[in-house]
Structure 1
Amino acid sequence: MRLFSGDTNLFLRKYFQVTYAVILLLLIPIAVVLNSVFLIQNSQKVIDVELERKAYLATSLFSSLVQDDIDQLQKVQSYVDRITSASDEIYGLDVLVPNGEDFRVIVSVDPSAVGTVTSFLNYTIAWKTHESIAYTTQSSGISTAFEGTKADRGSERFWVVTSPVKDSAGEKVALVSMKISSKIIDDLTEQNINRSVLVLVITIVIIVLLLITNTRLFEYAMLFRKLKEVDQMKDDFISMASHELRTPITGIQGYLQMLTTNQFGPVEGVVLEKLLLIQTASKQLAELVEDLLNVSRIEQGRLKMSIAPHDLLAAVRNVIIQLEAQAKADGLTVSFEEPKKPFPEILCDPDRLRQVLVNLIGNAIKYTLKGSVRVTLVQKEHMAEVKIIDTGIGMSGKDRERLFEKFYRIQNRETNSVTGTGLGLWITKELIRLMKGEIYVDSIERVGTQVTVLLPLAESKK
């Protein structure tokens, strides 16, 4: 037999937070109610036990008092009157003697009960068993002799204790039946119950309000989960699309290279010019695909890093030589202030290090309209410090705060002509982080930018 349909099971799995909130909304108030009921019932039991013990004690004391005076009715009656007048809790007190199989009242708080013959079962049990017997009643009669015959019931509760009275020789001579009111204790119990119910209601209201308020948090959690799913789908799509685009782009670049180098025959004039434009565009597209692949690998933790000691000085030299022609074409000078002493190796992935240096020095050249780009390399304790300083367009503090965000590009008149995806610096920062390094940027708008990269020295890890 299936308790839930497939759609219901799917809903419960998909919206676990909502289900959890509803269960809490039901279970917490129920638990509070059950706990309060349990405490009240236990308190009532403890109070009843204490009141019963008190009734037993009072009856025992009275029995001891009259055991040798049971034939002196006036004396016994005076005892009864003095005891009942001294305590408001003693509501009724009867002394009975056997009358055949029944019992006759010889002394009572209620004068109308004296002489009454009763066959009340509890009297018989107490007499036959030689033990006290106690029970609760709501009978409004003063004398206990009418318990078995009258059905008049009031709102007040009483404890009745019936005990045999023995003389000094140990022989049973009478029964004492005492009726003790539990009104004071019941009133206090009722007050405590009312207070407990009030606290219970307030607690439940607070819990319900709290859960209703926190429903918004569950909505946010569900929204966050949805966003994560969408983000994962986006990453998977980018990874798949990038891989699928890589092959045709490589083919296009190969054929363009063959065309521009006249391997299919002479190409001149406007045709060559257009082919070179296509070649540039395909290169930019290939770089975009590579950036997207790197982003996907980094976010999914699939980017392989081969960390090993490497010559940072040689890596900086090679990148500057590679980019120097581009800088000269733009009318810029690129200088490298090499350290005077042999420079220690660093721990890095050589290919990723080259990617970082090309990106940072290339950016400095791209965003410097006139002036120079200067690179320095120094050792700072256990770190190697590379600085790229340019006299470019700089940036504002607001732009600097968002510089390493994905797809973020500074948009102004000077940057409109500079191509890019806004992924390069994000990838650069992540690569530096994966190589246990750090990157900092200082910039003044229309003055220039200084980028500082710190990478760990190989010798510091020994």
Structure 2
Amino acid sequence: MIVIEYVKKAFGFVRKNPGILSSLVLLVVIPVALYYNVKTTVDAFTRNIDEIVQSQVFAAEKMLGVFVTEYTEKEELQEKINAVMDANPDIEFIEITGSDREGYAPIASMVREGQQMSTDTEKKMQDLSAIAWNKNADGIGFDSNDGGLRQWNVIKPLHNKEGEAVGLIRMAMSVSDADELSRRAQEQAYYVLFGVIILVLILIINHTRMFQYAVLFGKLQEIDKMKDDFISMAAHELKTPVVVMKGYAELLQQAASKLTEEQRTDRLRMIVSYADNLMTLISDILDVSRIEQGRLVLEMSDESPYPMIQEVVDTIRDSAEQKGLVLEYENKEVAEPAVVAIDTKRLRQVLINLIGNSIKYTEKGTVQVITKVDKIHKRFVLIIEDTGLGMSAIAQRSLFQKFYRVKTEHTEHISGTGLGLWITKAICEQMDGDISVESMEGVGSKFTITFPYKEAKKEIA
């Protein structure tokens, strides 16, 4: 399961950053290409070495065949073979045989000390001797491996002046030196390959880091722009209520005696309303600071969430009705009792923000507050659903980011800081809850919050 999770994360990272695919392709293609090139080169080198050794063996046996015909005495042949063996340390075995009715009888031979021909090699030597004799061949060669050492074996017929086969030369030459040379060449080639692969890996890692830095730089630029937008917006949001409150206060100061009681009350209500908006903005900024510094302290307690939800709905209902919207909520405290570990004050803040946003971004229709008790997963579910403007899938991915605001032609005139949903998500998660959004442009949005719950104790009548 852990491996699967890592694979999913890796695929997710590649999907979000397709530019890294080039690095992954290089990581696979370059080492494979280098390995194939080295292996092909080494194999070709080994084949060339074998061909050279074969040529040397056949040449040596041909030369041996020339002088063998000049010696008829067995002692002379043996001395000459001994001299050849002493002068050529790679030759492991030489044998001169003649033919008789019983087979091939050795005339002169010498085997280097410590060299022993295996049964399989001896049998193959005998079989090919018959072929070389009967077909009057120029020579037959094969390789063998006796005692862990590879050698080339050659069988060549000897002819008299009339061209008739009168004997055989059988010789074995060690190719251990050639094999050692080939092995060293392979080692050197693979060392070079290993070094190149390491170099490629370093380059690719650096490339990946540069790519990550580019992505990070892009994100930093985006955040920097969002901060600039926030500062501009916050300055406007702070200035607007201050200017309005100052205007109403000056009006009351200058013309208090000329205004009716109703007019004075209306002005004071507006001052209080803008003061509340100002306090909300200041509170959001302070909450951001507390959350980022880990100083947001929650006062958790096990409580039924229903009374607080009802209180928030009743408080904010007037705002919905002023826009001609219907705010619906069915209290299910009796039907589905539940106890949730929450900070009532902070959950109230979350609900006010979510329901307030639904009202703000809904021109007509309804805003519904729905509660459910998921007994299977032991979660208390709170849903705020509206028939508002909705948002695109791209906007939904960034919705809970700090300073982010959905920008369309329909939202340009709607004020906001871009902090509310980021704060809401942070508070929900700190209360061990989750928040998600489903939305469709022109249809509406649905925010879902879930918290672990405990079954409420039933009172005994």
- Give the greater-gyration-radius structure (CA): 1
TM-score if structure 2 supplies the norm length? 0.50
